[in-house]
Amino acid sequence: MLEFDGKIIHIDPWSQADYTGIPKADLIVITHTHADHMDAALLKMLRKESTILLGPPAVTDTLNGSVGDTDAISNGEKKAFLGIEIEAVPMYNLKLGSGPGKPFHHKSIGNGYILTFGDTRVYFSGDTECVPEMRTLKNISVAFVAMNPPRTMPPAEAAACVAAFRPKIVYPYHYRGQNTQEFADALKNTPGIEVRLRKLEGEP
């Protein structure tokens, strides 16, 4: 959850977390259709009548009005809502999948996002490997990078990708048991990048 100019933005809310007391959304942004990213029951709970829900066409097609109207945004598109520019960045697997030609995340099905708040550009990778579109990002203030193999990058690959596009601040997220310190250690000699580690809910 982000807050900007009095507006509440949720990214991929999932009911495995405790949403007690969490404010309802002015804007909800969904990366793709997997159940841990597109939780229809929670979307209904977080929505107000005025809430904007944004996702790739696969998300809008799957929800099909079940949680209210949704706006579609495809890879490479930019749209603005509530004074926030939102750019959809490709997220997909290069080699990881259930078999040859069966990636866990197909190109163009899901989006990572860059949300621009004034001069601050915040990137959410979504479930992706270190794809060329991620390596060539520019001027990222804060990055949230997923790393939970086998569906996304292991810590070492995530660190190498972050070193390529050099955000000012990076948080590993969606890491499900991976060693976040390994990620931080791999970047400790890369100047200009501050790694911030946070614990997932329920971790010791």
Please indicate, yes or no, if residue 49 is contained in any of the structural domains.
yes
- The bridge status of strand 25-29 relative to strand 7-11 is parallel
Please indicate, yes or no, if residue 202 is contained in any of the structural domains.
no
Band of residue 71 on the pLDDT scale cut at 50, 70, 90 = very high
Q: For residue range 96-149, what is the model confidence (pLDDT) as tens digits?
A: 666 777 777 788 899 999 999 999 999 999 999 999 999 999 999 999 999 988
CATH number of 163's domain: 3.60.15.10
Question: What mean pLDDT do residues 149-172 have?
Answer: 94
pLDDT of the residue at 178: 87
Question: What number of H helices and E strands is found in the chain?
Answer: 5, 14
pLDDT of the residue at 201: 61
Cα–Cα distances (Å) from 68 to 1, 38, 124, 144, in that order, read 20, 14, 24, 28
Band of residue 150 on the pLDDT scale cut at 50, 70, 90 = confident
pLDDT of the residue at 104: 73
Question: What mean pLDDT do residues 32-41 have?
Answer: 93
Please indicate, yes or no, if residue 141 is contained in any of the structural domains.
yes
CA separation for the pair 116, 40 (Å, rounded):
26
Question: What mean pLDDT do residues 57-76 have?
Answer: 92
Please indicate, yes or no, if residue 203 is contained in any of the structural domains.
no
Please indicate, yes or no, if residue 24 is contained in any of the structural domains.
yes
CA separation for the pair 20, 34 (Å, rounded):
23
pLDDT of the residue at 97: 64
Q: Indicate if the pLDDT at residue 94 is higher than 90.
A: no
User: What is the pTM assigned to this prediction?
Assistant: 0.93
Task: Report the domain count for the chain.
Answer: 1
Work out the mean pLDDT of the chain and round it to a whole number.
92
CA separation for the pair 10, 47 (Å, rounded):
10
Q: Indicate if the pLDDT at residue 1 is higher than 80.
A: yes
Helix, strand, coil share (%) of the chain residues, nearest 5: 20, 35, 50
Please indicate, yes or no, if residue 15 is contained in any of the structural domains.
yes
Give the domain range for residue 122.
2-195
pLDDT of the residue at 23: 96
Band of residue 69 on the pLDDT scale cut at 50, 70, 90 = confident
Please indicate, yes or no, if residue 43 is contained in any of the structural domains.
yes
Please indicate, yes or no, if residue 106 is contained in any of the structural domains.
yes
pLDDT of the residue at 204: 59
pLDDT of the residue at 200: 66
Q: Indicate if the pLDDT at residue 42 is higher than 70.
A: yes
